[in-house]
Amino acid sequence: MNAKIIVNIKNAKEIKEYQNIGIQNFLVPLADFCVGYDELTVEDIKTIKNDFYLLINRILPYEDLEKLKSIFASLNNNYLKGVFFEDLGVLELIDELNLKWEKIYFPNHFGTNYASINAFFKRGIDSMLVANELTKEEIEDILDNVNKDVILHVYGYNQIMYSRRNLISNFNNEFDINLPLENTITEKVTKKILKIKENQYGTVIFDENIYNNLELLKLANHVKFYYINTSFLTVKQIMQALMNKRQADNNSFLNKKTIYKIGDKNE
Amino acid sequence: MSKVELLAPAGDLEKLQFAFLYGADAVYIGGKDFSLRANATNFTIEQIQTAVKYAHDLKKKVYVTVNIVFHNEDLKGLKEYLQALEKAQVDAIIVSDLVVIDLIAKEKINLEVHLSTQASTLNAKSANFYKKEGVTRLVLAREASREDIIHIKKQTNMDLEVFIHGAMCTSFSGKCVLSNCFTNRDSNRGGCAQICRWIFAIAGSDKPFSITPKDLNMVTYIKDMMDIGVNSFKIEGRMRSIYYVSTVLNVYRSIIDKIESKTITDAYIKYYQDILNRCANRESTPQFYDNLPTNKEQYFLGRQEESNQDFIGLVKAYDEKKKIATIEQRNYFKIGDVLEAFGPNKEPFEIKINKIYNENMEEIDVARHPRMIVQIPCEKQLAENDMLRLKIFDISSYL
């Protein structure tokens, strides 16, 4: 198994299960500081006796950054290697508290060129997620030109929208019903299906088609981690995917360049 | 001069001129490249130079959006473009990607930098990250609450620009690639196909599932936002019409001026709300400022909006002696219609259409052709670029 694969876990027990299939790097979504993930509470996290990284992927108002201070203090042990974050306020907080963790910028859709990534590296970021709306050629170009190692999303459902709104709860309230906060929606014309997941901090939409970018595992230069988003998937499904035994839908952009302007379509 | 800036969108030179005329202190515009709203008309460098000269002659400002999220291929030509903007003496650029800030520092390009709402700034610590980079103004995330704004102002003392009116993204700005997935159009490079306005079905219900937000409207909170230190009030809509932009500006200019002259009343606020809602054909609410949006801030069962033909005409000239206005028709009107004139620095007033003349000064009953030139008698003075709309709301009934 590739030693640089990292997976998000849904509970502490999964670590052992992933270790059994050779995965050694773990990302732990922190309860109340994530959207779109199954999260672990601080107490759950304290039971982990393996090296791990913490995930904080919400955009945070100031009062939540204040709460993070005490949480960081309680989790400051030898197992916590670093923090993946979406909000640059977390970077500032880690620096302010002089915590010696790896600082990993994990923005959705923003790591799209090598110059920006290098600019973040100059400002104390240790690693950064490369966006996955990029072609393989664009990703290779990034890997050839970055100054530190980056993170590539290689498999799993892809988060394609993050809203602060409670979209399912609002629907439930409007029609006085009680649909589950993890659901699927289907666009009326295209019939495209999306997964939707809400917690009190917002709503995330995922593409129903699994992004299978496992061919990126062949790109080794300047890669810190190959990230697998395990949300909605079992350990067994991940293992099957890695053994190329799972016929996953592939809706990646590796061979599908996005259009900048409508006119570009005809060029 | 007002202490707070009223900032308007301008999709082209004509809209820019109307924006300034109707009370904007500054406009934001996009170049042909590197700007979200990639499919708007946008400005060439030469047009940007013209726009800046025009604005500066009026002692007003022009900000240029350089706010796409860059791909490798987009980096080509960026330095030269930024140098051209410096030469054009634009008042600031609005950016979301750190690469632009980095390049400006590296190449010692003299441009003031404002951070785009695409950066989703919601707290003072992330604001400080950019303050250290020389960013002077934050365009806050549309999700910022009153408390967030107060806190950021207090902790950073940076200039704060806040959206007060217009369309909302369902997502945090920049945190959505629905458009990429559905249409292959890159939302973070200006190609957003507004998938969040489409209708979905959700498992477990036969009701249409909508994620569409109503528009933003901060009329009721303008005074409060001035009190907590917001520096710039931003109106969304670089692709909107001159009628929309002029109407919205006219309303917010009036509100700000009335607040500063201490003549604002609840009656005016209610009247302005009605004007704005009618103009956009969409419902609008304060969204995140006072509360987390509920079902009341979203559209369900499709969008309850109807287009209207309220914009009747644009005043091209006014003959003070004859008391005749020359009008470029924009929508059908006829003898007997009751219209309302509005314009910069004037309270709206009623015009009853008793006569219409065509270009040959022949009486006609109806102006039915788009952009036809007609003349109408009008006792009160009008000015070029005033506008006529159907009279729907009567201010006297509010007071």
Q: For chain A, positions 102-121, list CB contacts with chain B under 8 A.
A: 108-110, 112-116, 119-120
Nearest to A88 among B71, B126, B190 (CB): B126
User: Which chain A residue has the Cα nearest residue B69?
Assistant: A110
How many Å apart are CA B327 and CA B385, to the nearest integer? 9
Q: Tell me which residue in B120, B201, B294 faces A173 most closely, judged by beta carbons.
A: B294
Give dist(CA B133, CA B121) in Å, integer: 15
Structure tokens at B346: 């004037």
**For chain A, how many structural domains are there in total?**
1
Instruction: Give helix then strand counts, H and E, for chain A.
Output: 8, 13
Could you tell me which residues come within 8 angstroms of residue B278 by beta carbon, excluding any fewer than 6 positions away?
B308, B310, B392, B393
Give me the residues of A, 118-137, that contact B with CB < 8 A.
Answer: 119-120, 122-123, 133-134
CATH of the domain at A35: 3.20.20.60
Res A259: pLDDT: 74
**Domain B5-297: which topology?**
TIM Barrel (3.20.20)
Question: CA-CA distance, B270 to B393, in Å (whole number)?
Answer: 11
DSSP string across B217-243: E-GGGHHHHHHTT--EEEE--TTS-HH
Answer whether A133 sits within 8 Å of B186, measured CB to CB: yes
User: Which chain A residue is nearest to residue B37, measuring alpha carbons?
Assistant: A261
Give, to the nearest 10 degrees, the angle between helix B98-106 and helix B78-87. Answer: 70
pLDDT digits (tens, 9 = 90+) for B145-154: 999 999 999 9
Q: Do B70 and A116 touch (CB under 8 A)?
A: yes
Q: Tokens 């309302």: give the residue.
A: B340
pLDDT score for A265 = 47
Q: Which residue of A has its CA nearest to B41?
A: A261
> What pLDDT is recorded for position B301?
77
Question: Mapping DSSP to helix (H, G, I), strand (E, B) and coil, where does residue A96 land?
Answer: helix
Q: Does A176 touch chain B (CB under 8 A)?
A: no
Other beta carbons less than 10 A from residue A130's beta carbon: 24
Contact B177 A161 (CB under 8 A): yes
Q: Using a CB-CB distance cutoff of 8 angstroms, which residues of chain A are in contact with residue B177?
A: 109, 133, 160-161
- Is A223 inside a domain boundary? yes
- Does B200 reach chain A within 8 Å, measured CB to CB? yes
Q: With an 8 Å Cβ cutoff, are A160 and B151 in contact?
A: no
Q: Is residue A164 part of a domain?
A: no
Which residues does B360 contact at the CB level (< 8 Å), separation at least 6?
A: none
User: Which one, of A202, A210, A200, A257, lies nearest residue A231 by Cα?
Assistant: A210
Q: How far is CA A197 from CA A168, A185, A231, B195, B278, in A?
A: 8, 10, 10, 18, 35
Average pLDDT of the residues in B337-364 = 95
Q: Which residues contact A78 (CB under 8 A, 6 or more apart)?
A: none
Residue of B nearest to A108 (CA): B175
Residue B269 phi/psi, 5° resolution?
-60, -45
* DSSP H helical ranges for chain A: 14-20, 42-46, 62-75, 88-96, 114-122, 136-145, 167-175, 235-242
CB contact under 8 A, A174 and B152: no
* DSSP letter assigned to residue B203: T
Q: Which residue has the higher pLDDT, B19 or A259?
A: B19
The whole-angstrom distance between B214's CA and the closest CA on chain A is 12
Under CATH, to which class is B311-397 assigned?
mainly beta
Residue B1: pLDDT over 60: no
Which of B340, B341, B347, B342 lies closest to B258, judged by CA?
B347
DSSP of B114-134? EE-GGG---SHHHHHHHHTTT
Contact B213, A165 (CB under 8 A): yes
B71 and A112 within 8 Å at the Cβ level: the answer is yes
As a whole number of angstroms, the distance between CA B40 and CA B52 comes to: 19
Residue among A88, A110, A113 minimizing CB distance to B75: A113
> B106: nearest CA in chain A?
A119
> Using CA atoms in the order A220, A221, A224, A227, what is the torsion angle rounded to 10 degrees?
-50
Q: Which chain A positions have a beta carbon within 8 Å of B294's beta carbon?
A: 170, 173
Q: Do B171 and A163 touch (CB under 8 A)?
A: yes
Prediction ipTM score = 0.94
A184 in a structural domain: no
From the list B361, B390, B389, the residue with the least C-alpha distance to B376 is B361
Burial label, B265 (beta-carbon count in 10 A; 0-12, 13-18, 19+):
exposed
DSSP annotation of B396? G
In angstroms, the CA B387 to CA B213 distance is 30
Contact B126 A260 (CB under 8 A): no
Q: Measured on CA atoms in the order B161, B162, B167, B169, is the torsion positive or negative?
A: positive
**Is any Cβ of chain B less than 8 angstroms from the Cβ of A262?**
yes
Of the partner residues B129, B175, B295, the one whose CB lies closest to the CB of residue A91: B129
Residue ranges per domain, chain B? 5-297, 311-397
* pLDDT tens, chain A, 267 aa long: 789 999 999 999 999 999 999 999 999 999 999 999 999 999 999 999 999 999 999 999 999 999 999 999 999 788 999 999 999 999 999 999 999 999 999 999 999 999 999 999 999 999 999 998 899 999 999 999 999 999 999 999 999 999 999 999 999 999 999 999 999 999 999 999 999 999 999 999 999 889 899 999 999 899 999 999 999 999 999 999 998 766 556 667 888 888 766 555 443
CB B194 within 8 A of CB B213: no
The answer to whether residue A163 sits within a structural domain is no
Partner-chain contact A183 B204, CB within 8 Å: yes
User: Please, what sign has the CA dihedral across residues B19, B20, B24, B30?
Assistant: positive
Nearest-CA distance A20 → chain B (Å): 35
- Decide the pairing of beta strands B284-285 and B346-352: unpaired
Q: What is the DSSP string of B270-310?
A: HHHHHHHHHHHTS-EE-TTTTS---GGGB--SS--------
Please count the other Cβ atoms lying within 10 Å of the Cβ belonging to residue B281.
Answer: 15
C-beta of residue B122 within 8 angstroms of C-beta of residue A87: yes
Stretch B249-275: mean pLDDT: 96
Question: Is the pLDDT confidence value at B328 over 50?
Answer: yes
The nearest CA of chain B is from the CA of A70 a distance in Å of: 16
Residue A25 lies in domain: 5-156+210-266
Q: What average pLDDT does chain B have?
A: 94
**Sign of the four-CA dihedral B189, A107, A255, B197:** negative
Which of the residue ranges A48-57, A110-119, B26-35, B364-373 would you say has the lowest mean pLDDT? Answer: B26-35
**Coil, strand or helix: which one is A171?**
helix
Cβ-contact B191, A259 below 8 angstroms: yes
Q: Does the pLDDT at position B302 exceed 80?
A: no
DSSP classification of residue A64: H
A171: nearest CB among B103, B178, B202:
B202
CA distance B34 to chain A (A): 10
Say if the Cβ atoms of A185 and B191 lie within 8 Å. Answer: no
B190 touches chain A (CB under 8 A): yes
A260 closest CB neighbour out of B124, B182, B189: B189
Is the Cβ of B199 closer than 8 Å to some Cβ of chain A? yes
Residue range B261-265: mean pLDDT, rounded: 96
Query: Do B177 and A194 make contact, defined as CB atoms within 8 angstroms?
Result: no
A185 part of a folded domain: no
Decide if B310 touches A, using CB distance below 8 A. Answer: no
Question: Which one of A59, A133, A196 has the shortest CB-CB distance to B177?
Answer: A133
Chain A residues near residue B72 by CB distance under 8 angstroms: 112-115, 138, 141-142, 145
CB contact under 8 A, B292 and A65: no
In chain A, positions 8-67, which contact chain B (CB-CB < 8 Å)?
Answer: 59-63, 65
Q: Which residue of B has its CA nearest to A188?
A: B200
Q: How many A×B Cβ pairs under 8 Å?
A: 222
B5/B18 Cα distance (integer angstroms): 16
3-state secondary structure (DSSP) of residue B147: helix
Angle between the N-to-C axes of helices A114-122 and B98-106, in degrees from 0 to 180, rounded to the nearest 10: 70
Determine the pLDDT at residue B303.
57
Q: Give the number of other CB atoms < 10 A from CB of residue B347.
A: 9
Interface contact A173-B124, CB threshold 8 A: no
Interface residue A232 vs chain B (CB under 8 A) = no
Distance CA A47, CA A244 (A): 33
Closest approach of A81 to chain B, Cα-based (Å):
22
Q: Is A194 on the interface with B (CB under 8 A)?
A: yes
